[in-house]
Structure 1
Amino acid sequence: MNKQNQIFRSVFFAMMVAVGVVISPILRVEGMCPMAHLINITMAVLMGPWYSLGCAVAIGIIRMACMGIPPLALTGAVFGAALSGILYRASNGKIWAAVLGEIIGTGIIGAIVSYPVMAYLWGKNGLTWMFYVPSFLMGTIIGGSIAFAFLLKLQHNGMLAKMQRKLGGKTYEYTRGVVAGQSEAALDA
């Protein structure tokens, strides 16, 4: 990957973090942040699981520091962000798998992990281990539905593969006679 593409990836990553911070208050109630799930899934599909995880961590830290959001900003994002990208790749580029990864990772795993964090570290009383599951599931379903519609539209008009190649990510479509799963580096070789 050349220096221009590395700069483009860094700028895109920073923009997604900024967008994630700005749109996170939309439809937000404690324990439910659908727009964060939109960003997680989009990053997982465009750049992969590690970039998605890094973006979720950066957004969570900024939200906690600047907006006074509790640690739910991290526990409710990191598991879904990583699992979304992992399932997307494991399914050979199925958008529904990325959404499912976010729902399982955040809606179930993140929600259950949030209980001890909020009860013991944050000092919230009256919580059970299933306390956050309903709101986290609802948030991931809303955000996942938006991401699914958005990414499906990008896929149908050919922009998804173009963006993935430009960002150095894996593509899972036949483009310019290239076998599915090859990155931009393989295209230019």
Structure 2
Amino acid sequence: MDSKVSIKKVTILAIMIALDFVLSPILRIEGMAPMSSVLNVTAAVLMGPWYALVMAIVCACLRMLLLGIPPLAFTGAVFGAFLAGLLYLIYRKNWMAVIGEIIGTGVLGSLASYPVMVWYTGSSNQLFWFVFTPKFFGGAISGSIIAYVILLRLSKTRQFKDIQKLFFK
């Protein structure tokens, strides 16, 4: 029975990774990926912090390797996904996952992007610490609101609750 549950978890994780990879380029403006925030919040509520983090890391790597997106794909996703999942795990409220995504991506991810992009570009002449914050914050807020509206409906379905039970026991 335990291996059956593990296969289900990995399958759901793979589906979430595929959805994130396919949907994140939609509505994407350089440095602002609201659909990534939609999937981060959804994954956080559906699967919890660790699986949401794995989803964000794998998707960021795929975006960088296959779509040529700079390391902002990584810094913009991992903090929000994990913090959204952590706050949801603690409080079990969808809106707490939204707060986690906004703080994680909009604040922590944007600030972590500065040293990463200085390293990536080899120059700090054109960059300053808060250069990514407006776009990251905007993308995180808009994507999180969309996710919250989707979760209002999804969280009432039996299938969603059944999947959650796999990850939150």
Shorter-chain-normalised TM-score: which range?
Answer: over 0.9
Q: In structure 2, what is the equivalent of residue 69 of structure 1? A: 69
Q: CA deviation at 1:31?
A: 0.9
Greater RCO structure (CA 8 Å; 6+ sep): 2
- Does residue 1:43 correspond to 2:5, yes or no? no
Aligned to 1:141: 141
CA positional deviation for 1:123: 3.1
1:169 aligns with 2:167: yes
Aligned: 1:56 with 2:56: yes
* Equivalent residue, structure 1, for 2:98: 99
Number of residue pairs aligned between Structure 1 and Structure 2: 168
CA distance in 1, matches of 2:135, 2:65: 23
Q: Which amino acid aligns with 2:112?
A: V
TM-score between both structures, scaled by the size of structure 1: 0.84
Deviation at 1:3, TM superposition (A): 2.1
Give, as a single letter, the amino acid of the residue that structure 2 aligns with 1:169: F
- In 2, Cα distance between the equivalents of 1:28 and 1:62? 16
**Bigger-Rg structure (1/2):** 1
Aligned partner letter, 1:95: N
Note if contact 2:9-2:167 (Cα within 8 Å) is conserved in structure 1.
Answer: no
Q: Which residue of 2 aligns with 1:117?
A: 116
Distance in structure 1 (CA, Å) of the matches to 2:52 and 2:156: 23
1:11 lines up with 2:46 in the alignment: no
Task: Give me the whole-angstrom Cα distance separating, in 1, the residues matched to 2:149 and 2:23.
Answer: 18
Taking the aligned partners of 1:56 and 1:122, their CA distance within structure 2 comes to 23
Contact 1:151–1:160 (Cα < 8 Å) also in 2: no
Is 1:87–1:98's contact at 8 Å kept on the other side of the alignment? yes
TM-score using structure 2 length: 0.94
Q: Counterpart amino acid of 2:44?
A: A
Q: Distance in 1 between matches of 2:159 and 2:17?
A: 21
In the TM superposition, residue 122 of structure 1 has moved relative to its aligned partner by 2.6
- The alignment yields a C-alpha RMSD, in angstroms, of 1.4
Q: Distance in 2 between matches of 1:157 and 1:19?
A: 19
5+ unaligned residues in a row in structure 2: which ranges? none
**Gaps spanning 5+ residues in structure 1: where?**
171-182, 184-189
Deviation per residue, 1:22-74 (Å, 9 max, x gap):
11110111110111111111111111100000000000000000000000000
Task: Report the Cα distance in structure 2 between the residues aligned to 1:43 and 1:119, rounded to whole angstroms.
Answer: 30
Residue of structure 2 equivalent to 1:90: 90
Identity across aligned pairs (percent)?
Answer: 47
| Mapped partners of 2:19, 2:167: distance in 1 | 20
* Residues 1:152 and 1:159: Cα distance change in structure 2 (over 3 Å): farther
